[in-house]
Amino acid sequence: MTDAAELKRRTAELLAAHPPATTDRLDFLRARFDAGLAWVHYPEGLGGLGAPRSLQVVVDAELEAAGAPDNDPRRIGIGLGMAAPTILQFGTEEQKRTFLRPLWTGEEVWCQLFSEPGAGSDLAALGTRAVREGEDWVVNGQKVWTSSAHLARWAILIARTDPDVPKHAGITYFLCDMTDPGVEVRPLRQITGEAEFNEVFLTDVRIPDSRRLGAVGNGWKVAQTTLNNERVAIGGMRLPREGGMIGPVTKTWRERPELRTHELHQRLLKLWVDAEVARLTGERLRQQLVAGQPGPEGAGMKLGFARLNQEISGLEVELLGEEGLLYEDWTMRRPELVDFTGRDAGYRYLRSKGNSIEGGTSEVLLNIVAERVLGLPAEPRTDKDVAWKDLAR
C-alpha cells in the first residue's frame, strides 16, 4: 500500500526528472499526472496510485515547497470537481483515458449543461431532447446559467431520451463537444455587470453514442453523482483561517477604526465564529470523503456557504457606508474566474446574491437536508409516476 514515505519518494523523482524551474508548465503537469501524483486516490494510469485520499496533501506540500506549478484549479473547477468524479465512476475505460488527463492538466475546460429555462430547481423536468440515429444522438434544446461555456471545450450534458416514462427515468447523460456544429453560446449579463455565465442553444447537435456516460435512461443517477460533488466543491473548499469572504471585512475592521461601532462589532464577531465553524466543518466533510463518495451532507455545507457570504458581504457594505456601494470595474466583461476576495465590497455584495441559486437553490437544498440527512418525511410529489410528456408545462 502506498504510504506517505512512498509518495515523498515518487514526488522527489518527479522533481528530479522535471525540474520546475526549467520544465515547461504543461509538460510538468502531464508528467505529474503520468506519475500518479495528480489525485493520488484515483487508479493507476488515471492520474493516481490508488492511495488514500488523505495523502494528497503530502504530495501537494512537497510540490509547493519546490515551486512546482499547479493546474490553476479555480479555472478548471467544474472539470475537477464535477466532471472528473462522474467520469471516474460511470465512464468506460476509453472515456477515462481520453478525458481525465487533459481535464486535470487544464488543457481542456469543462462546463455543465444541466439547467434549462423551465427546469432549474426541478431539474428532472428538463426538455432538451436526444434522439438516437444510428450510432449518434441528435440533441435539440436550450440550457441556461452555464458558467464557463464561453471557455469550455467539453460539457457534461443531460437530455431527455424517453418522454413516455416519468421524468426522472427518461434522462441520459452525455459528454458534449462544445466546438461541434449546432452549439451556440450567448452571454448572460448579471447584476455585477459581467457575463461569467451563458445560455447555450443546441440545434441538431450530433453526439456519438461512445460519448454517452452510463446506461440509456440512467442519467438521473449519474447526474446525482455530479450534483453531490458540485455542492462539496462549492461549499466545502479548503480555506485558511479568515479565508474567503470573512477575510476582507476583518482586514477593513482592523485598518479602519473610524468605521467601527458596537453593533457592527457584535455582528462581525458572530459572523467570524460562524465562518470558523463552517471552515472546520468543511475539514470534517473532506475527512469523510476519504472513506467514500460525497453524500447529502454537501448540501448543508453549500447552504451555509451561501448564507455566510451574503451576511458577511452585507455587513461589509454597512461598515463602509457610501464607499461600500461603489466598485470600479462595472463593465461587460467575460471573466475566466469568479474572484470574490480580490474585488471591491460592492462587487462582493452583488455577486454573493447568486450563491443561494447556483449549485442548487437554498430551498431545494433545505429539502435534501431534511429528507436525506434528518430523515424527515418527503414532500408529496404528485407527478412522480406521471410520464414526462403528460406533465403540465
Closest residue by Cα to residue 154 from 234, 69, 84: 84
Residue 77 within any structural domain of the chain = no
Residue 76 within any structural domain of the chain = no
Res 281 pLDDT > 70: yes
Rounded mean pLDDT of the chain?
A: 90
Residue 383 within any structural domain of the chain = no
Whether residues 147 and 192 fall in one domain:
yes
Q: How far apart are CA 379 and CA 33, in angstroms?
A: 45
Of 163, 184, 216, the residue that ends a domain is 216
Q: How far apart are CA 7 and CA 3, in angstroms?
A: 6
Whether residues 208 and 171 fall in one domain:
yes
Q: How confident is the model at residue 54 (pLDDT cuts 50, 70, 90)?
A: confident
Q: How far apart are CA 143 and CA 306, in angstroms?
A: 23
Residue 96 within any structural domain of the chain = no
Furthest C-alpha separation in the chain: 71
Number of structural domains (the chain) is 3
What's the pLDDT score for residue 182?
98
Handedness of CA 362, 367, 372, 375 (dihedral sign): positive
Whether residues 244 and 365 fall in one domain:
yes
Whether residues 55 and 172 fall in one domain:
no
Q: Torsion-angle region of residue 275: left (phi > 0), alpha (psi -120 to 50) or beta?
A: alpha
Whether residues 178 and 248 fall in one domain:
no
CATH number of the domain that 152 lies in? 2.40.110.10
Residue 359 within any structural domain of the chain = yes
CATH number of the domain that 250 lies in? 1.20.140.10
Over the range 259-292, which residues count as b (16 or more CB within 10 Å of their CB) and which as e?
eeeeebeebbeebbebbeebbebbeebbeebeee
- For 123, the grid coordinates are 431539474
Res 1 pLDDT > 70: no
Res 45 pLDDT > 60: yes
Which of the 8 DSSP states describes residue 218?
B
Whether residues 350 and 252 fall in one domain:
yes
**Which residue matches cell numbers 515547461?**
24
Domain holding 349, by residue range, is 236-373
User: Among 62, 230, 297, 316, which one carries the catalytic annotation?
Assistant: 230
Whether residues 314 and 356 fall in one domain:
yes
**Which residue matches cell numbers 471557455?**
151
pLDDT, greater one: 98 or 53: 98
E strand or H helix that includes residue 230 = helix 219-235
Residue 230 within any structural domain of the chain = no
Q: Note the pLDDT tens digit of each residue in 80-95.
A: 989 999 999 999 999 9
Rounded mean pLDDT, 30-58: 95
Q: How confident is the model at residue 74 (pLDDT cuts 50, 70, 90)?
A: confident
Whether residues 197 and 240 fall in one domain:
no
Whether residues 261 and 345 fall in one domain:
yes
Residue 389 within any structural domain of the chain = no
Res 363 pLDDT > 60: yes
Whether residues 358 and 269 fall in one domain:
yes
pLDDT, greater one: 295 or 304: 304
Whether residues 264 and 186 fall in one domain:
no
Whether residue 2 contacts residue 51, with contact meaning beta carbons closer than 8 Å, is answered with yes
What's the pLDDT score for residue 212?
98
Residue 174 within any structural domain of the chain = yes
Whether residues 363 and 251 fall in one domain:
yes
Q: How confident is the model at residue 286 (pLDDT cuts 50, 70, 90)?
A: low
Residue 108: active-site member: no
Rounded mean pLDDT, 240-257: 90
Q: Note the pLDDT tens digit of each residue in 137-180.
A: 999 999 999 989 999 999 999 999 999 999 999 999 999 999 99
The three-state secondary structure class of 358 is coil
- What pTM does this model have? 0.87
Q: How far apart are CA 151 and CA 205, in angstroms?
A: 19
Handedness of CA 44, 48, 52, 55 (dihedral sign): positive
Q: How far apart are CA 112 and CA 119, in angstroms?
A: 14
What's the pLDDT score for residue 294?
59
